[in-house]
Amino acid sequence: MVIVYESKTGFTKRYAEMLAAKTGLKVYHVKEISKINQDEGIIFLGWTKVGKIQGLNKVRRYNVKAICGSGTGRTAEPDVKAVIARNNIEGIPFFYLRGGCLPLKKIKGMDRIMLSMFVKILKSRKEKDERTEESIDIILNGFDGVKEENLEPLLEWLKNQPTFR
């Protein structure tokens, strides 16, 4: 079993490295996928962009045993079932990891444009609940939600895997 990740601003990378430190498994960036044997089990971690787990398409031909998607929400948005359907990963164990984001000012290019639009939409809501307010604050000011304890459900799953050596 090995760990493969895709990360743009480093939050998912931190989870991948934390997982490697806890398990002793080797960790690869998705760009290095060709180094991995087709039979090798893979735990894939990728950041979520508008509901899509980034980098996932590069590992689909491989032996993916579990998938983790990171995002800024407290839980997977809108929910785990929708994320699984959106990414066509039915039948593969999925784990949501709360990641984080840089302050909007530090994000560049298309991502910044998309997030700016998203903030505008959230701000224009007449009724803003606590989660909407939190999302606006997170995007504008940045947030770090990476915590070791968030890996626990994945570690529990891993313990029961016969291929985990």
Ligand X SMILES: Cc1cc2nc3c(=O)[nH]c(=O)nc-3n(C[C@H](O)[C@H](O)[C@H](O)COP(=O)(O)O)c2cc1C
- The residues binding ligand X (CB under 6 A) are 7-13, 47-51, 70-73, 77, 99-101, 111, 114-115
Of 70, 74, 31, nearest to 51 by C-alpha is: 70
Q: How far is the CB of 30 from ligand X (least distance, A)?
A: 11
| Three-class SS state of 122 | helix
Q: How far is the CB of 85 from ligand X (least distance, A)?
A: 14
**Closest CB to ligand X among residues 51, 153:** 51
**Closest CB to ligand X among residues 7, 150:** 7
Q: How far is the CB of 25 from ligand X (least distance, A)?
A: 18
Q: Between the CA of residue 110 and those of 47, 49, 131, what are the distances in Å? A: 16, 12, 24
Of 97, 81, 110, nearest to 152 by C-alpha is: 97
**Residue linked to tokens 């991502």:** 111
Q: How far is the CB of 55 from ligand X (least distance, A)?
A: 10
Q: Which two tokens stand for residue 7?
A: 């990360």
**Closest CB to ligand X among residues 10, 164:** 10
